[in-house]
Amino acid sequence: MVITKDTKIADVILKNHNLIPIISRFGIKFGFGDKSIKQICDSYDINADFFLEIVNAFNDKDYLPYRKLREMPLNLTVNYLLKSHYYYNKIKLPFIENLISQLEWKGEDAEKNKSVLKKFFSQYRKEVNEHIINEEKEIYPYILETEKNFLNRNNLNPEFTEKLKTKSITDYADTHEELNSALLDLKNIIIKYLNPPENREITEQVLTEIFRLEKDMADHTELEDKVIVPVAAEMEKELKKQL
């Protein structure tokens, strides 16, 4: 199913409930009746073309939106990624942490098991937060600054020109693999190494949410690696020719 501007947004969710957190990042609230995506986007002042590229990409793994997204202003994708950061830090990770706190074991290793899992998850949250801070304070501002100067390349900002002489988008180390590795370790701890908790249904919830987070963050990484970074790199390359 290819989602279009005429598609009813309620039908989108009814056919794929996994799109609920994606749609919510645009600030859209439930109770939209039979309104189409165009009607909803108009009422929320959302760029409908960008919205469609995002929901189609998350809805269909074979849908390739990157060419169209690369032609759109980078700030649209960056703003979406910032909302994803908020979702991870304020909603998804606290929710998983709360589920972990509900796990129960019996016997003398009960407290030890819970402590190990809590400590590992706490460290993972810290790494995610550090990664997000780096992107929001260093990478995203530089990308947006590059775009702004590229669009006004006949009148470059002198301060940015100096920065361009020593910096490059390729200088920013990609730490996504480290986060993916930490998430894999977390899954393995629960699946392979800890004694099974007594409340199996909570264990299943924890794992389900971790797998969902993993998929969401993989899509997040793709938007960075296949849209904003290569587009910014091309702009940067052209700007450096003027130095």
Q: Show the tokens assigned to 150.
A: 């590229």
CA–CA separation, 197 and 203 (whole Å): 7
Please give the share of the chain, as a percent, with pLDDT higher than 70. 98
pLDDT reported for residue 174: 64
Q: Which residues have a Cβ under 8 Å from the Cβ of 125 and sit 6 or more positions away?
A: 93, 97
pLDDT reported for residue 41: 97
pTM above 0.85, yes or no: yes
Q: Show the tokens assigned to 187.
A: 């899954």
Question: Tens digit of pLDDT for each residue in 2-59?
Answer: 899 999 999 999 999 999 999 999 999 999 999 999 999 999 999 999 999 999 988 8
Mean pLDDT of 163-173: 81
β partners of residue 36:
8
Mean pLDDT of 78-91: 96
Mean pLDDT of 223-231: 91
pLDDT reported for residue 239: 94
Q: Which residues have a Cβ under 8 Å from the Cβ of 69 and sit 6 or more positions away?
A: 50, 53, 77, 223, 227
Question: Tens digit of pLDDT for each residue in 169-183?
Answer: 887 656 677 787 888
3-state helix, strand, coil in the chain (%, to 5): 75, 0, 25
Q: Which residues have a Cβ under 8 Å from the Cβ of 64 and sit 6 or more positions away?
A: 57
CA–CA separation, 61 and 63 (whole Å): 6
pLDDT reported for residue 178: 76
Question: Tens digit of pLDDT for each residue in 102-116?
Answer: 999 988 888 888 898
